[in-house]
C-alpha cells in the first residue's frame, strides 16, 4: 500500500505547539483538521484513540504499526502534546462538526472521525439498499457492513459499527427512511429496515 503524503505544513515546527494568538491558533487548528481528515480518508480510518492512534479502519488487515505517526514528525523531532491534542480534537468535534466521541461520557474510548459526513454515509447506505432492491427488507448490521455480494459497494465494506449506527439514527431515522429493531436484550441493533 502506498504511504500518505503529509502536506508541507506537517514539517513546520510551530504546528506542533499551541499558538497563543487566537487567529494563528484557529489557522493552526484548521490545518490539523485538514491533515486528520485527509490522513483518515487515505487509510479509511474511522476512529482514533485520545492519543491519536488509529482504532478502526475499513481496510482489512491494515497494520497500524506500519502507518506514519499522525501527530509526530520524527524528521524535525516534534510531536503534539496531549493537552494540545485534546484541543485539536475539541475543535474537530465542536467547530468543524467532523468528529465526535465514541461515547461522550467516556472520552477515553476515542473519537469517531467523519472524513465523510454522517449525511454522506447515510446517503451511501440508502443508495445501496435502494439499488439492490432491498428497501423494506430487514437487514442485519453484518449485511450492511460485510455483504459478499459483488454489487456491494467497497466504500461501505467494514464500516465501523458506531459510524453506521449514527448514520442510521441521526440521519436516516430523522428523515423517516429507516427503522431499527433492537436485539432481545436491548443492547444491540438486531436489524435495520430502510424504507
- For 88-126, what is each residue's pLDDT tens digit? 999 999 999 999 999 999 999 999 999 999 999 999 999
> Under CATH, which architecture does the 8-113 domain have?
Orthogonal Bundle (1.10)
Give residue 36's pLDDT.
98
The per-residue pLDDT for range 75-92, each reduced to its tens digit, is 999 999 999 999 999 999
What are the residues whose beta carbons fall under 8 Å from the beta carbon of 153, sequence distance 6 or more? 124, 128
pLDDT at 141: 84
CA separation for the pair 127, 154 (Å, rounded): 13
- Range among 53-57, 135-139, 148-152, 160-164 rated most confident: 53-57
Three-state SS at 61: coil
Q: Residue 143's pLDDT band (boundaries 50, 70, 90)?
A: confident
Q: Determine the 3-state secondary structure of 131 from DSSP.
A: helix
Structure confidence at residue 149 as a pLDDT band (50, 70, 90): low
For domain 118-194, give the CATH number: 1.10.10.10
Q: Give ranges for CATH 1.10.10.10 in the chain.
A: 118-194
Distances (CA, A) of 167 to 9, 88, 99, 181, 193: 32, 24, 13, 15, 13
Q: List, by residue range, all CATH 1.10.10.570 domains of the chain.
A: 8-113
Mean pLDDT value across the chain? 93
More confident: 186 or 68: 68
Mean pLDDT across 42-46: 97
Q: What was the pLDDT predicted at 191?
A: 87
Amino acid at each position: 500500500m502506498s504511504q500518505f503524503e503529509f502536506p508541507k505544513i506537517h514539517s513546520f515546527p510551530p504546528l506542533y505547539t499551541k499558538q497563543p494568538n487566537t487567529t494563528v491558533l484557529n489557522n493552526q487548528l484548521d490545518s490539523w483538521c485538514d491533515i486528520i481528515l485527509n490522513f483518515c480518508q487515505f487509510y479509511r480510518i474511522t476512529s482514533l484513540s485520545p492519543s491519536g492512534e488509529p482504532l478502526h479502519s475499513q481496510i482489512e488487515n491494515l497494520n497500524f504499526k506500519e502507518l506514519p505517526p499522525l501527530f509526530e514528525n520524527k524528521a524535525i523531532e516534534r510531536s503534539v502534546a496531549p493537552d494540545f491534542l485534546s484541543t485539536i480534537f475539541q475543535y474537530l468535534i465542536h467547530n468543524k462538526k467532523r468528529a465526535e466521541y465514541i461515547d461522550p461520557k467516556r472520552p477515553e474510548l476515542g473519537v469517531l472521525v467523519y472524513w465523510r459526513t454522517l449525511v454522506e454515509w447515510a446517503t451511501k447506505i440508502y443508495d445501496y439498499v435502494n439499488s439492490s432492491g432491498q428497501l423494506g427488507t430487514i437487514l442485519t448490521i453484518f449485511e450492511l457492513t460485510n455483504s459478499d455480494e459483488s454489487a456491494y459497494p467497497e466504500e461501505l465494506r467494514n464500516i465501523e459499527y458506531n459510524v453506521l449506527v449514527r448514520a442510521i439514527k441521526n440521519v436516516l431515522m430523522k428523515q423517516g427512511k429507516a427503522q431499527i429493531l433492537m436485539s432481545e436484550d436491548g443492547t444491540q441493533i438486531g436489524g435495520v429496515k430502510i424504507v
